[in-house]
Structure 1
Amino acid sequence: MKKGFILLTCICCSFTCNGDEYIFLPSFTANERYEDNLRLQPNKVPINFITTLSPALKFGYLLDNGDLEANFKANQLLYDNESNLDATETILDAKYGFIADRFTFTLDGNHSVQSSITTELTAVGSGILTNINVFRTSRSFSPSFGYKLTENNTLQTGYSFNDVEFDDSNTVTNGLIGFTSQQLSSSIIHRLSERQNISLSTAYSLFEAPQSNQSSKTTSIQIGWQYIPDEQTQFGLSIGKRITDSEFLNGQLKTTTDGQIFSANLSRSMEWGNISINLGQQLNPASTGQQQQSTTISASTTYNINERLFSRISGNYLQTESVGNLSNNNSRTFSSLSPSLNWRWSEDINLEFSYTYRQQNFNNASNRDAVGNTLRFQFSYQPKVNKQVK
């Protein structure tokens, strides 16, 4: 482990805020993990021990008719066998909310600088983990408005912007391509009863990846239903259709594709713990230089052993399919299974031990199944801060 990293002491202390309108919550997390196939290659590389040190701070201001909150987190990653991969990641999220009699407004923003090894296995990633450390910079903001038309009907509109770029000049040859995406959406929600809502939503989105000479326009429509049968159970369902028009090589090649959009989620809390199941399919902008249709299945359950000890097991399945130009086909499947044991040592300190199994396969003849195993021990510290809410 590298010496000289002095983030440990700068955040692990508590402060008291005078008054009741401020939020100030520092925290610190450290974990040590073992990886036997860090980059998920068919032929395993030497094992890696990785130390991650993560100071974080949540701060904000509470208003009479809304809140302003921000979360900042820094991750210092130290690789035992490959020091060239050492990285410092920063993530800043901010949110402002305003509530009036019939009107609501929210504004979300994010700025993050992360290693591609951290980001590229997600639904918006390429699945490619390079031999060099490539930093991915992401910027996004999304304002949304809501207006209560009647007692049972609400109109919501929103806009989102996301810009992703990579800092290495060879990212195209490494399969990593930046992009810009925008979306304008609108929905109307009708309350059937205190426990049921139905909704109708439409959206129009734009995608551009100049490095790969690709762009697309997508129009979609969805209907949704939300049902809360009791205080412990929630269920949601949404289905719809999309049409995507894509252009390649500055408009020399054009294609039109359609696809399904759906999501379903079920969560239930019980005396012994809780369970959650989520399914979905949607079109995502991705760092492959084109859009991906992603199908996801995830499930998790938590079991409370006693007041201080609980266990959790979670599983995820992801299937991506490239939409448009097949010359850069990064369609793949990725799955993971992770049991963990958590111990609340004190009011300020939590300990966690977990194991994760990962498997990935690219859907072309040149790639084989890649399997990786991870063992992780994590220490979390959040001092109790005297904070009062209005």
Structure 2
Amino acid sequence: MYAWPASEVPALPGKGRDLRIHDTATDGLVTLAPGPVARIYVCGITPYDATHIGHAATYNAFDLVQRVWLDTKRQVHYVQNVTDVDDPLLERAARDAIDWVALAEKETALFREDMTALRMLPPRHYIGAVEAIPGIVPLVERLRDSGAAYELEGDIYFSVESDPDFGKVSGLDAAAMRLLSAERGGDPDRAGKKNPLDPMLWTAAREGEPSWDGGSLGRGRPGWHIECVAIALDHLGMGFDVQGGGSDLAFPHHEMGASHAQALTGEFPMAKAYVHAGMVALHGEKMSKSKGNLVFVSKLRRDGVDPAAIRLALLAHHYRADWEWTDQVLQDAVARLDRWRAAVSRPDGPPAEALVEEIRQALSNDLAAPAALAAVDRWAAFQQEHGGTDEGAPGVVSRAVDALLGVAL
């Protein structure tokens, strides 16, 4: 599977700072100091209805992570998946009487278009679940053969008790896990499971559903969590720098994925930091496909909204915060974009070196994008009121906002 084209990231004078970011597993800030190549895995979409503002907010957060690392003169090895076969996709395809493959391809193509418009840096590897199946099957077989997985009526389940570190990503107790498992794709009430929390690794073929040759597993399709584990281990290995996604993925997805990987390798942890973006609401409820209360990036673009304004609307909120999308949020972003573009369109301005360092400092401190935006606001306001004599300043500001915030002025 291919990703989307990369926008150019301007080079800035000097060097950025190492990133301090909130780690869900420790519930505190950790300083990440990767080697020459920083490694990040971000969970991708299930392509049955893309791309809403909640998606965009999540991928914007991890785009900022990449930009901070690039500013430290590191390379970034970014991997993202596409869950192009799963129950929600099959259910939507059946509801709309459309081929599930065609639906997945259509929505993935739209996602690529939206990511390109929003200037999100693409992953080096963009891998679909279907194309990952040849690598998934051997992992499930290894887990089964080692006793970390078991068969139940043809399905293969992972035993959470096989990982002594199970629970260290989310920090939840068993009761909370059981509730979330039921809400988020698990089957804690299925009879015959060793532990209600045990997740599916391989679903045996069902009539009317797609299936693949699973070798000794029989025909079927992979579970949700093992998909990401197989892709991450193949392209990044254990102990990569950041596992990212929305806060609703901390449990069960990232918890289960970590346990799968740790049981497979005997190593801990799977990732050095588990980083989660907050949820976006509309009309008082979390934006979600199940509720249908979605604001789509493609619809905003068709209505003539500048993608740079959409990105500024996202950046106006701290990535870990839960917030609500409103018309006023977008109007404020459009006005900010107009002010910034007017400021950098002048032939000269106040010196910009200190501003670049303010942006760097804000982003290195747990991706504090609102503080970075406030710093640019102050420079633009001073420019509007007083002007300046530095002929290079507007260009420096324009390049810094592009390189560090992903906004083209």
**When the two structures are superposed, what TM-score results if normalisation uses the length of structure 1?**
0.27
Give the structure-2-normalised TM-score.
0.26
